[in-house]
Every structure is written in C-alpha cells, then in structure tokens.
Amino acid sequence: MQTYRPPSQTGTLSVVTGTGGLGYEVALSLARAGGRVILAGRDAGKGAEAVARIAATVPGADVAYGALDLASLRSVREFASRLRRQETVVDRLINNAGIMSPPELELTEEGHELQFGVNYLAHFALTAELLPLLRAASDPRVVSVTSLAQHYAKFDIDNLRSEKGYHPGRAYCGSKLLQAMFARELQERSNAAGWGLKSLAAHPGFAGTNLFATGGGVSRFVSTRIILLLIGQTAAQGAQPILYAAGSPVAAGGSLYGPTGFMQMRGAPGPGKYAKIVDDQALRDEVWRRSEDLAGVRYG
C-alpha cells in the first residue's frame, strides 16, 4: 500500500488527542512534515515517552505534551485555557483519543458513561473551547476520528449518554456514531456562520491499536489479534485516513475518509460512507443542542 504523506506543515500547529496508537502515528507524520504538534493525554509518563520517541525519529521535531484528561470536562477547560493563553492559532485539531468497551459501567468526573464522555462529549467541548484559535488560522481543520462501528449503532436520543441498561459494545458504537454526526454538523454550522472551518471525519478501518486492550477478556483480545493479522492493518496504516483528512488539499469539508480496501478495513485512504442516520438534519440539531447543555459550552 502506498503511504500517504501530508504536505508541508511548516508554520502550523496541530493538537492531537491521544498519545499512543493512532494519535502517536498522526503526530509523528505531522512532525515529519515540519509542523508543530501538541500531543494531549492524561498520562504524563506516556506523553513524555511519545514525545521522546518522535524526537529521536525526527531530529529537530517541535513536539510537546499537553495534560488533558478527557474523562473530565474541567480538565478540558483547563487545557484549552492554557492553550488560549500560550497560542494565537491552532491549524489542526485531531479529535482522536478514545476507549473501547469497558466491561463494566464506568463514569466520567461529571457522571457520564465513560465512552460517551471520552470519545464524544469531551471532544465536542474541546472543539468549542478552541474555536477562537481555529478561526484565527488560514486553513483550519477539525478531524473527528470515528469508526466502522457507527454503522452498527442502535441510536436512542433519550439514552444519549448510554446510562440506561449499559452494554459495552452498544455504548461504543453510539459514541462513534455521535463523533460522525458531530463532524458533519460542525461543517454545516461553520458554513452557516462563516467560521471558515473544514470539519471532516475519518476512521482507521480495522487497525491494531491499544483500544483492544481496554476490556473484553483475554480470549477476546487474543482472537481479535489473530483477526487483525489476517484482515487488519497496523496503527501506522490506520492513521492514513486521518492524515489524509487533516492534510489533503482535495479532502472535502463534511466528508468521511477511511481505508478503501477489503470491507473498508484496510487499504489506501479515500472517501467513505457515513451511517444513514447521519443524514437526519433534525436529529443532528437535537443532538447538538443536548450536547451543548451537557458539555456546558456554546458555539459561536
């Protein structure tokens, strides 16, 4: 598979959530392209290790770690506040970090189901908090990392947070559908309000990341790794659609990008398809309204 390499990122600043897996690979490629990168995550040790690895691979790379716990909206506000004091522009925001299917119900600091809170709501809030810095950029992009799991979500607007009858897989699929809906609606609102943003979604296909270590038992983990070897791809390959969305001059705002090979699980990056429910404008409006209330933010 031919590797996609983003165009020169010299003079740009990218914020990437998640210090391992896809986040690391995206940050590494953006650093190679000459961009400044802030890798944001909750584990300072892992963050420092990721920064050191990139610095060793790309001499002179301008990469830093930023403390951000997506299970806490307070931490999101603090991270964004620090960034607004230190920077004047953010060119790329990669809403990537996530967790997958904790076997038991876990809650964020604010009491939201953990996958809803980390995968979706914290990124919804972070984007709102960084909107002034994004709008100050010449070609700002927000890339929300979704999943093929969006197509399997059983969506219930009255159980938006997955707090009723917790099921690990159902909550994960729902959080990834919400990320896809957010990417599409953010572009619509940018167009209407003149924010100048390009909002895109991307998914990695079936990529070998540390998401699979989150839960589900040893046997499931082992079987998943075997399947990955047969039909999946590496984290570096899974990062390709994210990089394409973040850097390609022909990537269209509001669009979804993913692997174009076997069942969209692997292969070169290209256009993908949203779940049909993402087309429901009225539903997206209602989800947006409720998300603003739950996150305590307002766009505009």
Strand partners, 39: 16, 65
Burial track 153-163 (b if 16+ CB lie within 10 A, e otherwise): bebeeebbbbe
Is 152 a known active-site residue? no
Q: Which of 24, 65, 120, 172 is catalytic?
A: 172
* C-alpha angle 64-233-20 in degrees, rounded to nearest 5: 20
Distance CA 55, CA 76 (A): 26
Contacts with 120 (C-beta within 8 Å, 6 or more apart), sequence order: 175, 178, 179, 182, 291
Q: Retrieve residue 77's tokens.
A: 């506000």
- Categorise residue 93: left if φ over 0, alpha if ψ from -120 to 50, beta otherwise: beta
Distance CA 91, CA 142 (A): 9
Label residue 32 exposed, middle or buried (CB < 10 Å: 0-12, 13-18, 19+). Answer: middle
Known catalytic residues are 172
